[in-house]
Amino acid sequence: MTDILLVVNAGSSSLKFQVYRLPTATSLAFAYGGQISGIGGLEPTFRVKAENGAILVDDAVPSIDAADLRLAQDLLLSWLRRKIDRAPIAVGHRIVHGGPRYAQSVILDDEVLGELETLAPLAPLHQHNNLAPVRVIRALWPHVRQVACFDTAFHKGHSQVVQRFAIPQYLHEQGIRRYGFHGLSYDYIAQRLRHDWPEVARGRVIVAHLGAGASACAMIDGRSVDSTMGFTALDGLPMSTRPGRLDPGVVLWMLKQGYTPEQVQHLLYNESGLKGLSGLSGDIRDLLASASGAAKLAVDYFIYRVAESLAGLCVASRGLDALVFTAGIGENSPVIRAGICEQLSWMGITIDAASNVADACCISASNSAIAVYVLATNEEVVIARQTLDRITE
């Protein structure tokens, strides 16, 4: 019977998974995958698709059964135990923060797990959630190897100039530096470009990963040379509920006004960004559908700051041959893509309106000086490949 490999990607409000068959010891074949979304919300859902696109599950979930990640894990694992007849050969996990130590994926043991737990303050929305399924799977399948795949690892080759903050050396030695995130997504896009557009991949590319969390990455020959996110996932582009780049004096001011560190953290991670600007929602779809002035401000702010940051990354890439949009907003919002490209029209970017509305792979006009692509990301397949690499070493 064919072995299987399980991938788990636990976020702040969703639990994604994919199951792969292993026809040989070194090959992967997607079997099925899906997610429980809306965890903690009023209308959570559980959806699963097979390799041929057939819908295996498309159910509304009682909110009480997905009130938190633990309950969602129980729901998913209960379904998986009915679906598969034996333990997977390995389980790969997306882990947002690998800290200064981990430059590649690693098999999870007690030491590694403990070290990763200490990094939770650097990614409070994600790290505990990423690690929670590890313990659940340990209890269910104690002998199954589990692998941590890091969002920070893709950016490990950054130069000292890019990586450092202008702070004393002893703080840098304690790990305060610019890490960069969304690396699994950028890794997938780099691989996709190498496969489908090798000449583009060898050049100067900026990828805009625009979703609830948002960042951008400059690449040369498929390798990260700079990214908008830094020490934590708060930095860089404005996001759904996070502010992005922020004068640290604002935090000092809040502390002097009597805010506790916990209150500051909650405000910056949960009440800022598009939600804070609009006073309505952190979901770009809600803002685009709204007639309110505050919603328009939030959309305009997002477009402007993303364009500004993309232009800034051109210093690291020493110019630009191609721009790639990916993730939820990047893949699905023609309005946002058009707005960003309009802000960058001075660079010679021109998009084809019909291709943009159709979410085509290439949306740049024939006379555009810079190619513009829209590519769906797939962090889970990168996790699967890295996991297979670790267990077959």
Judgement on whether residues 93 and 15 belong to the same structural domain of the protein: yes
Q: Is residue 246 domain-shared with residue 345, that is, in the same domain?
A: yes
CATH number of the domain to which 138 belongs: 3.30.420.40
- Residues 64 and 72: beta-carbon distance below 8 Å: no
The pLDDT of residue 217 is 98
Does residue 165 lie within any of the structural domains? no
Average pLDDT rounded to a whole number, residues 334-353: 98
Asked if residue 138 belongs to a domain, the reply is yes
The answer to whether residue 322 is domain-embedded is: yes
Domain span at residue 8? 3-150
**Residue 167 confidence (pLDDT) above 80:** yes
151 given a catalytic annotation: yes
Question: Which backbone phi and psi does 23 adopt, to 5 degrees?
Answer: -60, -35
- Pair 18, 145 in one domain: yes
* CA 362 distance to own-chain centroid: 22
Judgement on whether residues 233 and 121 belong to the same structural domain of the protein:
no
- Clarify whether residues 67 and 141 are in a common domain: yes
- For residue 27, what pLDDT band results from cuts at 50, 70 and 90? confident
202 & 90 share domain: no
11 within domain boundaries: yes
Residue 338 pLDDT exceeds 80: yes
Residue 22 in domain: yes
pLDDT at position 136 is 86
Tell me the backbone φ, ψ of residue 30, rounded to 5 degrees: -60, 130
pLDDT of 101: 87
| pLDDT at position 111 over 90 | yes
Q: Poorest-confidence range of 69-83, 221-235, 272-286, 315-329?
A: 69-83
Sequence-distant (≥ 6) Cβ neighbours of residue 205 within 8 angstroms: 193, 218, 219, 220, 222, 317, 320, 321, 322, 323, 324
User: Does the pLDDT at position 312 exceed 90?
Assistant: yes
Triad 346, 347, 350: Cα angle to 5°: 85
Q: How many domains does the chain have?
A: 2
Question: Does residue 267 carry a pLDDT above 70?
Answer: yes
- Mean pLDDT to the nearest integer, 71-90: 87
Q: What is the pLDDT of residue 84?
A: 85
Average pLDDT of the segment spanning 309-313:
98
Is residue 117 located within the same domain as residue 236? no
Q: Which of 3, 58, 110, 151 is catalytic?
A: 151
Mean of pLDDT values over 327-351: 97
* Sequence letter at residue 118: T
Q: Of 92, 116, 150, which marks where a domain is finished?
A: 150
Claim to verify: residue 335 and residue 257 sit in the same structural domain: yes
Domain stops at, among 150, 178, 210: 150
Q: Is residue 75, in this structure, part of any structural domain at all?
A: yes
Domain assignment of residue 183, yes or no:
no
Q: Are residues 85 and 220 in the same domain?
A: no
Is residue 173 assigned to a domain?
no
Percent of the chain scored above 70 by pLDDT? 99
Kindly state whether residues 242 and 337 are assigned to the same domain. Answer: yes
Q: How confident is the model at residue 1 (pLDDT cuts 50, 70, 90)?
A: low
**Residue whose C-alpha is closest to residue 318's, from 151, 204, 233, 228:** 204
Which of 321, 276, 270, 272 shows the shortest CA–CA distance to 295?
276
For residues 139-144, give the mean pLDDT.
89
The answer, yes or no, to whether residue 127 has pLDDT greater than 90, is no
Does residue 89 sit in the same domain as residue 206? no
pLDDT of residue 382: 95
The mean per-residue pLDDT over the stretch 94-103 comes to: 88
Query: Same domain, yes or no, for 96 and 215?
Result: no
Q: Stretch 72-80: mean pLDDT, rounded?
A: 87
pLDDT in tens, 209-265: 999 899 999 999 999 999 999 999 899 999 999 999 999 999 999 999 999 999 999
